[in-house]
Structure 1
């Protein structure tokens, strides 16, 4: 029996060696529906679906060449989104913010100066919790002006909404404000014995001109009625109405022929603005 089994094995070996190199199972048809069988056998599991491919652009008969271009090939090689700021730019921006915060007053980085506390004056004159302002929204004051924060905030609003839009880019844009009066214990219109001016309480500022980047200046004395800057100065005057409680200019009286007077008196007690 062992001899017979050994003989049968020798006969079978050539048959195994001559087995076909490929499986006789027919190949799956292209596009055939995946099998729904739940069998876990590797041999019967449905093949994983192929990744979707961009559809080919079918040529339209008789259409010009540009019509049949594959638009996917026209996509930019890289994103058009600007790159992130470099570490150097971020560091410079951080230093600028630090300097602004260090020199800011009235809890506003756009108002630069120093806090000087209470300013005492004769009689009723003086300022409670005063600040000395040197620049507002990047526009330098020709000289530091003492005032309270209500007035400083109004000045900043006027610079942003009135001064800068009125000047625009003319002469390279505004760079300075010529201040002719801030805090001063005196009567209205500098008249001795008159009712105290709002300057006496740090509620007012007087402005005579606007300096431009090219070195020129718009002045109320020479340009209020001029063809060059008259319209812009009148726009600034109008923009101040409502921001400040009292707005006076060259058309109000002779005492203001050469400057704007802005104060916040009405802002505190209510009522409409007075603009002249």
Structure 2
């Protein structure tokens, strides 16, 4: 006698065998639904996704298949006028790519103050001849933002960064119609002396490498606009005035021809900071 639990299991096995005996050998293929024209892929892709590209009988008399065939035929005709796949973009000539890499390497090699737009060389400590002078970490700047200096300027990185900001946002835009600007005429950079060379005065910011004097601007066509001669002219007064005004902010002190008798031929710009903001004259 089979236990009750065993009998239940045996009964279930018998029922399962009976059900499987009546099952079809192969599963039925699902019927194709009607496909909208927007859903039909390109004719060239029809074989990939398994859609028919010619007449075929269907359960509804072939209406859905006819629709697919019609759209696929139009797509196939259109495909004859162009490539099936996107064209690979043309690669740049090896020569131009190599030159670009070399330019980038040169910029990185000459970069100072952590900025490739500031080109020059590291100098290090510059001792002062008198008390209060000297630079702890000096750099010698040759160009900023692609604009050359007429002579390398021995200054600090703070002054170099301010100079770059002024060139990009002030000097270049000021001379855009006459330029482009290609060179700055440097009248003074680091020099250990008192302010305005007056005995007994405080040490100038030049004596700390925190100042630079600019006396002129050279354009790409060779034109030179000087502060001394250009300040009084109508055509050059405006760009000079715009350049001087734009220096106020990047630099803490800005002095021009109207400030005093010591700056008639140049712009003095230094990075000294004051509680009441920049001092600009």
Note the C-alpha offset of 1:206.
Answer: 0.2
Note the C-alpha offset of 1:270.
Answer: 5.0
153, 157, 169: which is aligned to 2:165? 157
Rate the CA distance shift 1:74–1:212 in 2: closer, same or farther, 3 A. farther
CA offsets 1:100-144 (integer angstroms, 9 cap, x no match) = 111111011111111000000121100011001111111111111
2-structure distance, mates of 1:198, 1:227 = 32
2-structure distance, mates of 1:135, 1:185 = 23
2-structure distance, mates of 1:85, 1:210 = 37
Rate the CA distance shift 1:271–1:118 in 2: closer, same or farther, 3 A. farther
Aligned to 2:23: none
Q: Confirm whether residue 168 of structure 1 aligns to residue 176 of structure 2.
A: yes
Aligned to 1:143: 151
2-structure distance, mates of 1:167, 1:54 = 62
Q: Confirm whether residue 32 of structure 1 aligns to residue 63 of structure 2.
A: yes
Aligned to 2:188: 181
Note the C-alpha offset of 1:224.
Answer: 1.1
Alignment of 1:179-258 (within 5 A): 179-258=186-265
Q: How many residues align?
A: 221
Note the C-alpha offset of 1:52.
Answer: 3.8
Aligned to 2:97: 90
CA offsets 1:205-263 (integer angstroms, 9 cap, x no match) = 00000011111101110111311211001000111111100011011011001100000
1-structure distance, mates of 2:265, 2:243 = 14
Note the C-alpha offset of 1:54.
Answer: 8.5
118, 133, 152: which is aligned to 1:125? 133
2-structure distance, mates of 1:93, 1:203 = 34
Rate the CA distance shift 1:72–1:104 in 2: closer, same or farther, 3 A. same
Q: Which consecutive residues of structure 2, in runs of 5 or more, have no partner in the other structure?
A: 1-55
User: Secondary structure of the residue that 1:229 maps to in structure 2?
Assistant: helix
2-structure distance, mates of 1:146, 1:128 = 12
Rate the CA distance shift 1:164–1:30 in 2: closer, same or farther, 3 A. farther
Q: Which consecutive residues of structure 1, in runs of 5 or more, have no partner in the other structure?
A: 1-25, 35-46, 57-70
CA offsets 1:49-88 (integer angstroms, 9 cap, x no match) = 54844979xxxxxxxxxxxxxx99999xx99998543332
2-structure distance, mates of 1:30, 1:167 = 78
Note the C-alpha offset of 1:187.
Answer: 1.1
CA offsets 1:1-52 (integer angstroms, 9 cap, x no match) = xxxxxxxxxxxxxxxxxxxxxxxxx966985246xxxxxxxxxxxx995484
TM-score (norm. length: structure 1): 0.71
Aligned to 2:278: 273
Rate the CA distance shift 1:74–1:93 in 2: closer, same or farther, 3 A. same
